[in-house]
């Protein structure tokens, strides 16, 4: 995409118009989907998904893969991600790694944690098939509006 800064959100129930952000806003913490009023801005450059690229940068971090895993947790950190690469396919965010076989590069899982936050995971299985209990399948899209909408 040619847009430098984007708000990233989902377009499918039950997470319709929830937006990617840090669980603790603007800090290195879990990647979650949350309220439009707290939507962050993002950029993908050099394979890195960067939150707040015009301020204090937070980089999407991906949990290390071990055999048998069905999902990889995404968090935010202050240093670049060392596992896999983020890219665009149209307006959809994808993640891939030569070390991980995925059926669909833009498949994500949203799973509620114990506090009810919508944690973001990379789905290693088939989209909308054998979805883990407590999770929902999603794709994450760039939104070019000036503000996020509910």
113 closest CA partner among 35, 27, 31, 16: 31
Give the pLDDT score at 1: 40
Provide the whole-model pTM. Answer: 0.88
Would the pLDDT of 6 be above 60?
no
Domain residue limits, the chain: 7-143
What's the CATH number of domain 7-143, 2.60.40, 3.30.1180, 2.80.10, 1.50.10?
A: 2.80.10
Residue 10 has pLDDT above 80, yes or no: no
Q: What is the mean pLDDT of residues 104-112?
A: 94
Residue with tokens 């299985």: 125
- Tell me the residue length of the chain: 150
Mean pLDDT over residues 115-134, rounded? 91
What DSSP assignment string belongs to 59-118? Answer: EEEEPPP-TT-SEEEEEEESS---SSEEEEETTEEEEEBTTB--S-TT-EEEEE-TT--E
Residue among 30, 35, 82 at smallest CA distance from 51: 30
Q: Per residue in 70-91, pLDDT tens? A: 999 999 999 999 999 999 998 8
Q: What average pLDDT does range 91-116 have in this prediction? A: 94
């Amino acid at each position: 995409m040619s847009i430098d800064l984007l708000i990233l959100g989902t377009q499918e129930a039950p997470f319709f118009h929830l937006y990617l952000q840090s669980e603790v806003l603007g800090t290195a913490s879990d990647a979650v989907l949350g309220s439009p009023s707290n939507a962050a801005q993002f950029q993908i450059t050099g394979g890195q998904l960067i939150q707040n690229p015009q301020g204090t940068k937070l980089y999407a971090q991906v949990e290390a893969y071990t055999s048998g895993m069905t999902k990889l947790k995404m968090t935010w950190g202050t240093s670049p991600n060392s596992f896999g690469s983020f890219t665009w396919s149209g307006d959809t965010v994808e993640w891939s790694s030569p070390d991980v076989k995925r059926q669909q590069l833009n498949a994500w899982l949203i799973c509620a944690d114990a506090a009810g936050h919508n944690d973001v995971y990379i789905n290693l299985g088939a989209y909308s098939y054998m979805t883990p209990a407590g999770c929902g399948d999603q794709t994450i899209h760039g939104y070019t509006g000036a503000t996020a909408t509910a």
